[in-house]
Structure 1
Amino acid sequence: MNRRHTNPHARRRAWCALLVLLMAIAMVLDVHIPQAAADDGDSTTSDVPGVALSVESLTAVVTATSGFSATLTVENRTTQPVSAGAIDIMTNPDYNFVSRTDVQEWADGTAQIDTTHELAHADVAAIPAGGRVAVHAVLSAHDPALAALTTWGPRPLRILYTAQSDGDAQPVHASLNSYITRSQDGAASVRTPSIGISIVMPLTSHDWSADDKARQRLITSDTRDLSAQSIATLDENECKALHDKDRLSTKYPQLQVVADPAVLETLGTPHLTALMQPARFDITSYARVGDPQAYARAGVGKSKWSAASGLAQLRGALGDMSASAPAIAWQGADSWTMDALDAARGAGYDTVIATGDFNIADDATAQTLVYRAPTKHGDVTVLAAQPTLTSLANAHATSQHARAERTDAGRIARFIAQSAFYQMEQPYAQRTLLVCFGEDSSPKQVEMLMDALGDASWIDLTSLADLTAHDALIDPGLMPQLIGENVGLSAGHAASVRETLMQLGASRSDLKRLGSSILGGDAQQSGDKPNDASDSNDDASQAPSPSATADATVDAQSESSGSSEGGGSRLTESAYARRLLDAHDTLALFALQGDTALCTSMRKAAAAFSDAALGAITLSPSGNVSVLSETASMPVTVSNGLPYPISVRISSRTDSIEIITARMTPITAPARGEAQTSISIRVTTSGTAVAREQLVDRDGEPFGAMQQTSITSSLQISDKSGLAIIIFAVALGLLGLWRQFHRKKDPDE
Structure 2
Amino acid sequence: MNRRHTNPHVRRRAWCALLVLLMAIATVLDVQTPRAAADEGDAATTDVPGVALSVESLTAVVTATSGFSATLTVENRTTQTMPAGVIDILTNPDYNFVSRTDVQEWADGVAQIDTTHELVHADVASIPAGGRVSVHADLSPHDSALAALTTWGPRPLRILYTAQTADGAQPTGAALNTYITRSQDGVAGERTPSIGMSVVMPLTSHGWSVDTQARQRLITSNASDVPASAIATLGEDERKALHDKDQLSTKYPQLQVVADPSVLKTLGTPHLTALMQPARFDITAYARADDPQAYARAGVGKDIWSAESALAQLRGTIGDTSANAPTIAWQGSDSWTMDALDAAREAGYDTVIATGDFNIADDSTAQTLVYRVPTEHGDVTVLGAQPTLTALANAHASSQHARAERTDAGRIARFIAQSAFYQMEQPYAQRTLLVCFGEDATAQEVRMLMDALGDASWIDLKSLADLTGQDTLIDSALTPQLIDENVGLSDGRAETVRETLVQLGASRDDLSRLASSILGGRDGAATKSGGAPKDDANDEGDADATGASSPTASATANATVDAQSAPPEASDGSRLTESAYARRLLDAHDTLALFALQGDTALCTSMSKATQELADAALGAITLSPSGNISVLSETASMPVTVSNGLPFPIDVHVSSRTDAIEIVTARMTPITVPAHGEAQASISIRVTTSGTAVAREQLVDRDGVPFGAVQQTSITSSLQISDKSGLIIIIIAVVLGLLGLWRQFHRKKDPDE
Pairwise same-fold verdict (TM > 0.5): yes
Cα pair distance change 1:537/1:250, threshold 3 Å: farther
Match of 1:497 in 2: 497
Amino acid at match of 2:527: Q
- C-alpha distance after superposition, 1:677-731 (max 9, x if no partner): 11010111111111000000000000000000010111155x9xx9999769955
Cα pair distance change 1:558/1:184, threshold 3 Å: closer
Query: 1:47 deviation in Å?
Result: 1.7
Once residues 692 and 29 of structure 2 are traced to their aligned partners in structure 1, the CA distance between those partners, rounded to angstroms, is 98
Cα pair distance change 1:51/1:314, threshold 3 Å: same
Once residues 618 and 205 of structure 2 are traced to their aligned partners in structure 1, the CA distance between those partners, rounded to angstroms, is 28
**Is the 1:636–1:678 contact (alpha carbons within 8 Å) kept by the matching residues of 2?**
yes
**Secondary structure of the equivalent of 2:358?**
coil
Once residues 663 and 558 of structure 2 are traced to their aligned partners in structure 1, the CA distance between those partners, rounded to angstroms, is 64
Match of 1:601 in 2: 606
Match of 2:449 in 1: 449
Amino acid at match of 2:387: P
**Is the 2:122–2:137 contact (alpha carbons within 8 Å) kept by the matching residues of 1?**
yes
Once residues 19 and 712 of structure 1 are traced to their aligned partners in structure 2, the CA distance between those partners, rounded to angstroms, is 100
Match of 1:576 in 2: 581
Amino acid at match of 2:75: E
Amino acid at match of 2:97: F
**Secondary structure of the equivalent of 2:345?**
helix
Match of 1:715 in 2: 720
Once residues 68 and 20 of structure 1 are traced to their aligned partners in structure 2, the CA distance between those partners, rounded to angstroms, is 30
Once residues 642 and 670 of structure 2 are traced to their aligned partners in structure 1, the CA distance between those partners, rounded to angstroms, is 12
Cα pair distance change 1:72/1:435, threshold 3 Å: same
**Is the 1:82–1:166 contact (alpha carbons within 8 Å) kept by the matching residues of 2?**
no
Cα pair distance change 1:554/1:121, threshold 3 Å: closer
- C-alpha distance after superposition, 1:556-596 (max 9, x if no partner): 87762224xxx331110111111111111111100000000
Q: Of the candidates 636, 651, 655, which is equivalent to residue 656 of structure 2?
A: 651
Match of 1:669 in 2: 674
Q: Is 1:218 aligned to 2:218, yes or no?
A: yes
**Is the 1:303–1:538 contact (alpha carbons within 8 Å) kept by the matching residues of 2?**
no
Match of 2:197 in 1: 197
Amino acid at match of 2:404: A
Match of 1:5 in 2: none
- Identity rate, percent: 76
**Is the 2:656–2:668 contact (alpha carbons within 8 Å) kept by the matching residues of 1?**
yes
Deviates more, 1:136-145 or 1:168-177: 168-177
Query: 1:217 deviation in Å?
Result: 1.2
Once residues 539 and 551 of structure 1 are traced to their aligned partners in structure 2, the CA distance between those partners, rounded to angstroms, is 12
Match of 1:26 in 2: 35
Match of 2:365 in 1: 365
Match of 1:11 in 2: none
Query: 1:738 deviation in Å?
Result: 10
Cα pair distance change 1:168/1:216, threshold 3 Å: farther
Once residues 108 and 564 of structure 2 are traced to their aligned partners in structure 1, the CA distance between those partners, rounded to angstroms, is 59
Match of 2:749 in 1: none
- C-alpha distance after superposition, 1:242-294 (max 9, x if no partner): 00000001110000000000000000110000000000000000000000010
**Secondary structure of the equivalent of 2:216?**
helix
Q: Of the candidates 695, 700, 703, which is equivalent to residue 698 of structure 1?
A: 703
Trace 1:452-531 onto structure 2 (pairs within 5 A). 452-520=452-520, 521-522=522-523, 524-525=526-527, 528-529=533-534, 531=541
Amino acid at match of 1:432: T
Once residues 242 and 451 of structure 2 are traced to their aligned partners in structure 1, the CA distance between those partners, rounded to angstroms, is 19
**Secondary structure of the equivalent of 1:33?**
helix
- C-alpha distance after superposition, 1:147-184 (max 9, x if no partner): 11111000000111111134661211211000000000
Amino acid at match of 1:609: L
Q: Is 1:561 aligned to 2:569, yes or no?
A: yes
Q: How many residues in Structure 1 have an aligned counterpart in Structure 2?
A: 705
- C-alpha distance after superposition, 1:387-440 (max 9, x if no partner): 000000000000000000000000000000000000000000000000000000
**Secondary structure of the equivalent of 2:366?**
coil
**Is the 1:284–1:335 contact (alpha carbons within 8 Å) kept by the matching residues of 2?**
yes
Structure 2: gaps (5+ residues): 1-26, 536-540, 747-754
Match of 2:420 in 1: 420
**Secondary structure of the equivalent of 1:648?**
strand
- C-alpha distance after superposition, 1:209-250 (max 9, x if no partner): 111111111111110000111111110010000000000011
**Is the 1:81–1:165 contact (alpha carbons within 8 Å) kept by the matching residues of 2?**
no
**Is the 2:301–2:552 contact (alpha carbons within 8 Å) kept by the matching residues of 1?**
no
Trace 1:4-43 onto structure 2 (pairs within 5 A). 22=31, 24-26=33-35, 32-33=39-40, 35=42
Structure 1: gaps (5+ residues): 1-17, 38-44, 743-749
Cα pair distance change 1:424/1:500, threshold 3 Å: same
Cα pair distance change 1:540/1:512, threshold 3 Å: closer
Cα pair distance change 1:331/1:181, threshold 3 Å: same
Amino acid at match of 1:231: I
Match of 1:3 in 2: none
Deviates more, 1:727-736 or 1:266-275: 727-736
Match of 2:13 in 1: none
**Is the 1:161–1:174 contact (alpha carbons within 8 Å) kept by the matching residues of 2?**
yes
Query: 1:24 deviation in Å?
Result: 3.1
**Is the 2:653–2:672 contact (alpha carbons within 8 Å) kept by the matching residues of 1?**
yes
**Secondary structure of the equivalent of 1:638?**
strand
**Is the 1:292–1:539 contact (alpha carbons within 8 Å) kept by the matching residues of 2?**
no
Cα pair distance change 1:167/1:308, threshold 3 Å: farther
Deviates more, 1:189-198 or 1:213-222: 213-222
Once residues 642 and 581 of structure 2 are traced to their aligned partners in structure 1, the CA distance between those partners, rounded to angstroms, is 25
**Is the 2:561–2:567 contact (alpha carbons within 8 Å) kept by the matching residues of 1?**
no
Trace 1:149-188 onto structure 2 (pairs within 5 A). 149-166=149-166, 169-188=169-188
Once residues 554 and 440 of structure 1 are traced to their aligned partners in structure 2, the CA distance between those partners, rounded to angstroms, is 26
Match of 2:646 in 1: 641
**Secondary structure of the equivalent of 1:395?**
coil
**Secondary structure of the equivalent of 2:415?**
helix
TM value normalised by structure 1: 0.90
**Is the 2:654–2:669 contact (alpha carbons within 8 Å) kept by the matching residues of 1?**
yes
